[in-house]
Amino acid sequence: MSLHRPLSILLTSLVLASAAAGCALQAQSDDGASHLDQALTTNEGFETGSKAAYAAGNVSLSSGSWNMNDALIGTLSSDVKAGGAAARVRNSGSVTMNFDRASAAVVTVKSATYGSDSSGSWGLYSSTDHGSTWSKVGSSISTSSSLTSATFTVNVSGSVRFSLRKLDGGSNRVDFDDIAISDYSGGGGSGGSGGGSGSGASVSVHTKLGLPSAASSSNWNNYLSVKSQYVLAYNSSRKIPNWVSWELNSAYIGSQARLDNFRPDDTLPTGMPQASLADYSGSGYDRGHMCPSGDRTANAAANSLTFYLSNMLPQAANNNQGPWEKLESYSRTLAGQGKELFVISGGTGSAGTIGAGVVVPDSTFKVIAVLDQVGQGPADVTTSTRLIGIVIPNNDSEVAKADDWKPYRVSVRSIEVLTGLNFLSDVSSAVQDVIEPRVDNL
């Protein structure tokens, strides 16, 4: 029997882990410059700091200083929260950042009605002049007894801060928790920090729908490696890929047997830190393909390329050989039906290391855009296009090998918030904003 965590709890913990891992990477940059691949996500769960009274005041939290007006940090059993605490607001109270971010793409906030109080309403406000003036973002949100996520697309490329404001003015109380704010760097989509601007197709057919991040040959922690069978952004400080992207249709499928010629990537720059076969030996983790061997069986050369260790990460056996493999097989079934698939996969967060510093992600993610005909591209992605997103814990105790992949489905927008990446960055933002918040249910 699989020990599934509720998806809301899973994503909350993964977002926090991803941010923590990102901060650690930035600290260990080898040349003093920031080599961080994935855009950092500001997260606030109100688990640190203390404020027991409603009177206006500032409180130091893990993300920075916040002003809480007619608000406190609630830890009672009646506070609806993901962890041990939430921000509880009454009357026309607010919870406001006292600091700026350099940019913002997507803001996600969880909220609920406190205890047995009546439903409340609240809004998100933003300021691009250090808090002097504020503008409402999106629609007002009504609360219920359950902690529910609301997602706002902001796409601000300069300094910005945010405020959560209770709007109904009543004495009923509202809980806020798990605020997540992702970076924005001008990509074509509404999610994370992708390349965008129609740049994907100019790099490779495998990134036809857009680059998930602004990878380049000058950044060893976001190193763009273009191969004939897939494209990856390699992170030398983690010794695993940040993401791998590939096209899949029936032309890539043949009768070539699996070669199993695992090896370091001899196409990466000399001196770039990489995983070795010894790192995986006896580690207890599979050498988990991102672009799978089974997706490249047209000939020996194509299959061989999938066995570069740069295309792999340490993957729990129940994950790799269970729901992960089942989704790979299902993807090939769709390709055999004449569909055109664009797939992006990777790992997020850190559950430790193996060997000489090869990071073990605490989860694996995959995004699949399913187009109707081979040769289609960004212009053919519509609000009816099927988009599959999954996040699977990279831990044998939380996943059973017999599990299907479907229970692990989440929205692609939530994976963007989790990773700071921008999937489908060359697709119309209006289309992204319809299909990315959806959870596949076919």
Q: List the one residue out of 95, 153, 143, 155 whose CA is nearest residue 116.
A: 143
3-state secondary structure of 328: helix
Is-contact 328 345, C-beta < 8 A? no
| Residue ranges covered by each domain of the chain | 41-182, 200-435
Q: Which amino acid is at 250?
A: S
Is-contact 190 411, C-beta < 8 A? no
Instruction: Kindly give the pairing relationship between strand 148-156 and strand 104-113.
Output: antiparallel
CATH class of 200-435: alpha beta
For residue 302, the tally of other CB atoms under 10 A from its CB is: 20
> Any idea what DSSP says for residue 409?
B
pLDDT for 200 equals 87
For residues 125 and 279, what is the distance between their CA atoms, to the nearest angstrom? 48
Q: What are phi and psi of 311, to 5 degrees?
A: -95, 15
Tens of each residue's pLDDT in the chain, 442 residues: 344 444 544 554 444 444 333 333 333 333 322 323 333 578 899 998 899 999 999 999 988 899 999 999 999 999 999 999 999 999 999 999 999 888 887 888 999 999 999 999 999 999 988 999 999 988 899 999 999 988 887 777 778 899 999 999 999 999 999 999 887 654 444 444 444 445 788 889 999 999 998 888 888 998 999 999 999 999 999 999 999 999 999 999 999 999 999 999 999 999 999 999 999 999 999 999 999 999 999 999 999 999 999 999 999 999 999 999 999 999 999 999 999 999 999 999 999 999 999 999 999 999 999 999 999 999 999 999 999 999 999 999 999 999 999 999 999 999 998 998 999 999 999 999 999 999 999 9
For residue 281, the tally of other CB atoms under 10 A from its CB is: 10
> Any idea what DSSP says for residue 239?
T
Q: Which fold has domain 41-182?
A: Jelly Rolls (2.60.120)
Structure tokens at 278: 């010894």
pTM of the model: 0.61
Q: List the one residue out of 254, 230, 191 whose CA is nearest residue 425.
A: 191
pLDDT for 197 equals 47
For residue 59, the tally of other CB atoms under 10 A from its CB is: 19
Composition of the chain by helix, strand, coil, percent to 5: 20, 30, 50
Q: List the one residue out of 192, 175, 176, 149 whose CA is nearest residue 9.
A: 149
Please state the length of the chain. Answer: 442
For residues 314 and 303, what is the distance between their CA atoms, to the nearest angstrom? 20
> Any idea what DSSP says for residue 308?
B
CA 431 to chain centre: 19
Q: Give the DSSP letter string of 166-225.
A: E-S-SS--EEEEEEEEE---S-SSSSSS---TT-HHHH-GGGTT--SS--BTT-TTSEEE
Q: Which amino acid is at 380?
A: D
Task: Enumerate the active-site residues.
Answer: 289
pLDDT for 325 equals 98
For residues 8 and 311, what is the distance between their CA atoms, to the nearest angstrom? 29
